[in-house]
Amino acid sequence: MTKEQTLVSKYGTLMTLVHLAQELHRSPDGLRISLRSNAGWASQVNAARKKFGRRVYFDTAKIAAIIDDMS
């Protein structure tokens, strides 16, 4: 199974900030602060962000591609 297939089967097509934090082995609050920085990986993750009202989700396929590029 690829990383994308694994994440989609575990979280579905959209991930919450808590799910993303679990996959990146960070606390949700620490991840939220890190995503405000100008780091290259943060801009990639923010590009995968989708807002529905006040709720924030991340495209699982794009996050899997970012994780694959990081490793």
How do the domains of the chain map onto residue ranges? 3-70
Encode pLDDT of 37-68 as tens digits: 988 899 999 999 999 999 999 999 999 999 99
Phi, psi at residue 38, to the nearest 5°? -95, 15
pLDDT value at residue 70: 86
Residue 6, CA distances (Å) to 11, 12, 34 in order? 9, 10, 25
Predicted TM-score (pTM) of this structure: 0.91
